[in-house]
Amino acid sequence: MPSRFLIIGSGFSGAVLANQLAQYSDCHIDIWEERNHIGGNCHTSRDEETGIMVHRYGPHIFNTDKKEIWDFVNSFIEFHPYVHRVKAMHNGKVYSLPINLLTLNEFFNKTFTPNSAKEYLDGLGDKNIIEPKNFEEQALHFIGKELYHAFFYGYTKKQWGCEPCELPASILKRIPVRFNYDDNYHNNIFTGIPKEGYTQLIGKLLDHSSIDIYLNRKFNSCENVNEYDHVFYTGPIDAYFNYEFGRLGYRTVTFESSVYIGDYQGVSQMNYCDETVPYTRITEHKHFAPWEQHKKTIIFKEFSKETNKEDIPYYPKRLKVDKELFNLYRNKAETLSKISFLGRLATYRYMDMHHVIGESLEFSKLFLESLNSENLRPVFPNMEK
């Protein structure tokens, strides 16, 4: 008898898992997706008016250092090379991000060499902070007050809705500082964007005769799912437990779109770093597909706010209280059987696509091994307590 599995959610974690289970075990898989499309927040579709491929839930650039993950995604669809270049607006002037030699020269009105820039920045960093414990300390330690306030303080306050000193240092570690003119926003070896969007990739992952997808099918943890041998949940873990210990903190994003003729800002992403501007950034999606030609252009202003019941959770805040709350949910989840929790929302972490895919591949392997052995079924992927 084939096993019957239920996967809640069709983002990358659910789709990669379904793909692996369908390929490597004798099973039937139902996927319940509460939205009217697959792909979770990576969903892309063409805008009707302009024909431009739009990243519906904000920009997604695929980047990884792991060749096996790059090869895995490229085995399903075609990626186009794409280097993400971001500009930052501060006090009415445009700068290059991440902070690089051009940014430093323009900001301080100097003509630094790589070595002199490094020396200068070393002098600006607050060396009284030995081990930075939060976002603000991390920034002050490495780049000093002026750059921090110009590019990070306002943006971060708008983005996360709290003081940067309340946030973990790890958020800032995502962004490099460079002492050359390299303005690639990412540091990874492999980077690109799917030629026909991410939803095509998710569709290919799920294209298997053992997989049935049910759209507009919301999961409710009270309902009876006993007919399944195992359930994999990729939604928010606090929602699974009906928020019984309280709500985990998330920021959500809303978008204001406009269509123009030609090119609006000349770049795919312009960050607005000052607190006086209500949005965090403007993305112009035709620039995510420079291999295409479009007469019109569509732009999105992004606004960040606290997540209410009906909002889509985007960014896990992971404040101290959230981490404590998550641990309560995690401990409770670990007492359950026949259910696993996987992905960004179920494990409450700020993860990029390549992390999610890599972890889902590893988790699938663990789970498949447990099917053929006495091993306990994994409840969570391997992650720090």
Active site residues: 174, 178, 251, 281, 302, 350, 352
Nearer to ligand UDP, 142 or 232 (CB): 142
Do 378 and 367 touch, CB atoms closer than 8 A?
yes
CB of 354 to ligand UDP, least distance (A): 13
Nearer to ligand UDP, 162 or 371 (CB): 162
Whole-number Cα distances in Å, 155 to 146, 148, 226, 325: 14, 10, 47, 27
CB of 175 to ligand UDP, least distance (A): 5
CB of 331 to ligand UDP, least distance (A): 29
Number of neighbouring beta carbons within 10 Å of residue 189? 11
Nearer to ligand UDP, 142 or 367 (CB): 142
Best CA proximity match to 202, nearest among 172, 234, 227: 234
CB of 157 to ligand UDP, least distance (A): 9
Write the DSSP assignment of 253-305 as a string of letters. Answer: EEEEEEEEES-SSSSSEEEE-STTSSSSEEEEGGGG-TTS--SEEEEEEEEEE
Nearer to ligand UDP, 340 or 347 (CB): 347
CB of 30 to ligand UDP, least distance (A): 31
Nearer to ligand UDP, 82 or 155 (CB): 155
17/342 Cα distance (integer angstroms)? 9
CA angle 187, 188, 194 (to 5 degrees): 125
Tokens of 280: 């965090």
CB of 340 to ligand UDP, least distance (A): 26
C-beta pairs of 238-243 under 8 Å, 24+ apart in sequence: 238/325, 238/329, 240/329, 240/333, 240/341, 240/346, 241/329, 241/332, 241/333
Nearer to ligand UDP, 172 or 211 (CB): 172
Sign of torsion over alpha carbons 309, 278, 157, 110: positive
Tokens 């972890």 found at: 359
CA angle 187, 159, 314 (to 5 degrees): 80
Where along the sequence are the contacts to ligand UDP (CB under 6 A)? Answer: 88, 97, 151-152, 155-156, 159, 171-172, 174-175, 271, 273
